[in-house]
């Protein structure tokens, strides 16, 4: 038995799907915000030097994926390490920073330093 889109059951199913997708989007947005707040409040702040930059596919909303490699400079005698990130940069005013040798501020979670990273100014203002 097929459910007609004009039947009350069809409208109920469509409504449940719509609100389910909406709830998923809201929850994902809140989780990303909570991750950024956690890194800003509990993460380590260091300097990093951009080593390599490559742009290409896949494209998201017409923006190429930018692959960046940074040399992260640990303070206090820690060993420097390489950070590799893929981003879809949407702020053209920041493209001038994509030059090898540029030094940026980085905050990261020591427990997941390749995954939980904020790179300023690409991920917002470093002062907040």
Tens digits of residue pLDDT in 35-70: 888 888 888 899 999 999 988 878 888 888 889 999
Let me know whether 97 and 58 are in one domain.
yes
Say whether both 7 and 25 belong to one domain.
yes
Helix extents (H) in the chain: 8-42
Please count the CA atoms within 13 angstroms of the CA of 12 that sit on its side-chain side. Answer: 4
Residues 65, 3 share a domain: no
What is the reported pTM? Answer: 0.68
53, 87 Cβ separation under 8 angstroms: no
The count of structural domains within the chain is: 2
Contact yes or no for 66/97 (Cβ under 8 A):
no
Query: Do 57 and 98 have their domain in common?
Result: yes
Phi, psi of 7 (to 5 degrees): -85, 155
* Domain co-membership, 66 together with 112: yes
Closest by Cα among 39, 87, 93, 45 to 63: 87
Q: What is the pLDDT of residues 9-19, one digit of tens each?
A: 878 888 888 88
């Amino acid at each position: 038995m097929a459910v007609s889109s004009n039947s009350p059951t069809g409208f109920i199913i469509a409504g449940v799907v719509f609100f389910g997708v909406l709830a998923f989007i809201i929850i994902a947005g809140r989780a990303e915000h909570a991750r950024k707040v956690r890194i800003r409040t509990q993460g380590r702040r260091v300097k990093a030097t951009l080593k390599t930059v490559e742009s290409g596919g896949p494209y998201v909303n017409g923006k190429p994926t930018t692959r960046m490699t940074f040399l992260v400079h640990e303070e206090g005698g820690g060993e420097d390490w390489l950070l590799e990130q893929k981003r879809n940069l949407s702020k053209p005013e920041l493209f001038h920073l994509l030059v090898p040798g540029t030094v940026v501020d980085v905050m990261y979670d020591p427990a997941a330093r390749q995954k939980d990273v904020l790179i300023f100014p690409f991920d917002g203002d470093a002062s907040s």
